[in-house]
Structure 1
Amino acid sequence: MRRAVLVLLVILAGLVALSAPAFPALTRYGALPRQADGPVTLLLAGVTPNYPPSPVWPYPAAPEDYTGLTDTIVLAQVRPDGTANLLSIPRDTWVNIPGWGFGKINGSNVHGGPEMLVNAVENLTGVPIDGYALLSLHAVRSLTDAAGGVTLDVPKRMKYDDTAGHLHIDLQPGRQHLNGQQAEGFLRFRHDGLGDIGRVARQQTYLTALVGRMKNPLNWWRLPGMVGALDQNTKTNLTREDVGALLGAALGGLKVNMHTVPGSFGNGGTWLPDRAALHELVAEQFRDPNDPRPLTVAVVNTAAPDGSARRLKTRLEGLGYQDVRIVQETRTDAPTTVTGTAAAAVLRDVGHGQVTQQGGVPGADVTVRLGNDTPAN
């Protein structure tokens, strides 16, 4: 009996020791997994260190305050069924930063903190963001080591030394297992003729390898250490509800799809986004199928009081609908109908009428025909 108790105590001590790195994060963000009503959309950004003026060379980095440039920017949408769509945004993407003006998107955090970065990404993609997580330079190294390293293919010889930045990269081509320092070099290397786009491709390769590592049951004992590594190197505004929804989605097994903002190189090495292609990509991969607000909605006054179409357009736009159009058709004495994609969801916001299968206005996802049952106000 004593031996059994001793063995049990040793096992419990081991479990406590394994879980200890995650305790601070659990204290702040601990939540039970839950089935969310819709996707949770996060902005993940890796922040570069600041090097203040110093008589000492190599320059020591300033204490991390998460105010630097964001050299890695990923929009991550996790759906309740475990599908995770990731959109890599090149750091040199040329955009109109809300509240600042035109510039590279990686300067948003410097000019206005994570809120300005979130606004810039929302303005670029049209996707509402629920929360952000800024990761320090040390996050990749610590997370990779906590995961026991990652196995991936190094596409070509990578050798580069930056004494000031304490960056020394020396990787041979081929499939290999990288530790944290090597993984950091793999991600930060830029001297391959592809600049930022090459880095984006390597970020996606790394994330695929890391997710594969996490999904392997033999590595689940490492998860507390990985949680601790992230917690020590992250600034975030995620809520317990967000964490609970993410855990609920992860329980079904994550299915990761990766994408990159389409575009082309511009002057000064900038990345000029292809807005039309990006809009199509977002519509296909990042639209919540239960959220009708990104859809094109045509409003037709068929038998409603004068001004009803204009009033409904104003109300829907106030609810966040992004493309509401008033269309003229021949008036007919009929009740209000809604037809098209997500018609039932739009009907809830219209407030009256019924869903039908009749044809809609060409070019519109949803058509609302306001009829004789429309209130005057």
Structure 2
Amino acid sequence: MSIKPKKKAIRKVMMIIYLVIIALILGVGIYVGYIYYKADAAIQRVAAPKLADDPIGNVKKESIQPMTFLLAGVDSRDGADGVMNTDVLMLVSFNPQTHSASMLSLPRDLLLKPKSLPSRKSNYYYAYYYIKDKSEAIPNTKRFFSDLLGFPIDHMVVLNFDALRQTVDALGGLEIDVDMDMKYNDSADGTHIDLKKGLQTLNGQQVLDFVRYRKSNQGTRESSDFARNDRQQQVIKQIIEKLGDFQGISQWGNVLDIIGENVKSDIPESDLQQWVYNFPKIKPNHIRSLQLESSWKSPYVYVKKEDLQQALATLRDEAGVSSESRLNLEAFGLLD
């Protein structure tokens, strides 16, 4: 007499389990569809067609091929000293076959001596082209650095400070081991940096302060470009790692909105789709950070020739670029 009720109870429990599984599958499917919708919307805002007269990166590639891009983080705030100067300048090679990448940070104060333009810090040239003609700033800057570095850069990506700050906030902050006390105030552009040394969770504004900090007017130690570049790469790796965990995945919709609002590029829409859909396969331990040993001789930073040559050779290998084009060493400030 008691067996039938037990069987009914078991069937009821199994039915509930099946319904829960179906609901989860439907929920995941709806969320995936939502993410694809958000991704497509962001891609349309970020992407731009290649210019017909731009030979750099204008050769058609299969989507599976490696590629190289110049990443620039710009200060576009009203009232900032040197608006549109690149506070971050990074050369990145991405290999979708191996889901790996290599990053080389160029010091913002690195002396560049091009023949066609005046000698300036590396952070000057995007602003120069932007002021001259903002619609041509990306292709002209990309061509400029391609000529100096000796190999074609496929694309350029420009993001403003809000992209980093808002992304970190959407992800709930980043756990950062701050390497030193950092204090700096500038009422003219609204910069107020006040970070204590040690492991802590930083919000978006604090992470931005962490990667930007160079000098102090409040008694703390100044930071070298080498340490600053290392912090930038550390933050990028942490963001990629966090986007892959459960909390990060749940925020992809918000992050894609942020990217759409704050990032511009010359990447065609079809290529950008391949980048976005391959992004989840990239793991932080497959990202190689390349550094240049540098020395400050006011007002410029100088780098070692051997470091520069070796770093660019690594990027060439990652991107599958031949070494036929030569690095224009005369255009760089080099250590004796």
Structures share fold, TM-score greater than 0.5: yes
Matched, 1:250 2:250: no
Structure 1 residue 142 displacement after superposition:
1.1
Distance change >3 Å, CA 50–CA 174, structure 1 → 2: closer
Query: Partners of 1:241 and 1:27 in 2: how far apart?
Result: 10
* Greater per-residue strand proportion: 1
SS at match of 2:125: helix
Matched, 1:45 2:76: no
Choose which of 270, 284, 288 in structure 1 pairs with 2:314. Answer: 284
Choose which of 84, 88, 100 in structure 2 pairs with 1:68. Answer: 84
* Alignment map for 1:104-123 (pairs within 5 Å): 104-112=121-129, 113-123=137-147
Query: Between Structure 1 and Structure 2, how many residues are aligned?
Result: 279
Distance change >3 Å, CA 15–CA 99, structure 1 → 2: same
| Contact 2:102–2:318 under 8 Å retained in 1 | no
Moved over 6 A (4+): 12-20
Choose which of 250, 263, 267 in structure 1 pairs with 2:294. Answer: 263
Matched, 1:215 2:244: yes
SS at match of 1:152: strand
Matched, 1:168 2:199: no
Choose which of 241, 246, 249 in structure 1 pairs with 2:270. Answer: 241
SS at match of 2:234: helix
SS at match of 1:128: coil
| Contact 2:92–2:315 under 8 Å retained in 1 | no
| Contact 1:35–1:245 under 8 Å retained in 2 | no
| Contact 1:40–1:245 under 8 Å retained in 2 | no
Q: Which protein is bigger by CA-based radius of gyration?
A: 1
| Contact 1:35–1:249 under 8 Å retained in 2 | no
The structure with higher relative contact order (CA 8 Å, sep 6+) is 2
Residue 311 of structure 1 is matched in structure 2 by none
Structure 1 residue 116 displacement after superposition:
3.6
Q: Which amino acid aligns with 2:191?
A: L
TM-score normalised by L of structure 2: 0.71
* Alignment map for 1:1-377 (pairs within 5 Å): 22=39, 24-28=41-45, 36-49=63-76, 51=78, 59=79, 68-79=84-95, 80-97=97-114, 99-112=116-129, 113-191=137-215, 192-247=221-276, 249-254=278-283, 255-268=286-299, 270-288=300-318, 290-292=320-322, 294-295=323-324, 322=326
| Contact 1:125–1:278 under 8 Å retained in 2 | no
Query: Partners of 1:16 and 1:248 in 2: how far apart?
Result: 13
Gaps of 5+ in 2: 1-18, 48-60, 130-136, 216-220, 328-336
Distance change >3 Å, CA 166–CA 23, structure 1 → 2: farther
Query: Partners of 1:252 and 1:223 in 2: how far apart?
Result: 15
Residue 299 of structure 1 is matched in structure 2 by none
Residue 341 of structure 1 is matched in structure 2 by none
SS at match of 2:108: coil
Residue 327 of structure 1 is matched in structure 2 by none
Query: Partners of 1:22 and 1:247 in 2: how far apart?
Result: 8
| Contact 2:66–2:319 under 8 Å retained in 1 | no
Gaps of 5+ in 1: 52-58, 296-320, 324-377
Query: Partners of 1:29 and 1:107 in 2: how far apart?
Result: 23
Query: Partners of 1:267 and 1:44 in 2: how far apart?
Result: 26
Distance change >3 Å, CA 29–CA 203, structure 1 → 2: closer
SS at match of 1:286: helix
Distance change >3 Å, CA 133–CA 75, structure 1 → 2: same
| Contact 1:98–1:120 under 8 Å retained in 2 | no
Query: Partners of 2:34 and 2:206 in 1: how far apart?
Result: 27
Distance change >3 Å, CA 67–CA 122, structure 1 → 2: farther
Q: Deviations over 1:177-234 (max 9, x none)?
A: 1111111111222223234333212212211221221232442121221121122111
Q: Deviations over 1:124-151 (max 9, x none)?
A: 4323211111111211111111222111
Query: Partners of 2:318 and 2:212 in 1: how far apart?
Result: 33
Distance change >3 Å, CA 261–CA 127, structure 1 → 2: farther
TM-score normalised by L of structure 1: 0.64
Structure 1 residue 91 displacement after superposition:
0.6
Structure 1 residue 97 displacement after superposition:
3.6
Q: Deviations over 1:243-291 (max 9, x none)?
A: 24424543543321111234332331x1123233311222134335744
Cα RMSD of the aligned pairs, angstroms, is: 3.4
Query: Partners of 2:68 and 2:319 in 1: how far apart?
Result: 14
Query: Partners of 1:135 and 1:36 in 2: how far apart?
Result: 23
Structure 1 residue 28 displacement after superposition:
4.8
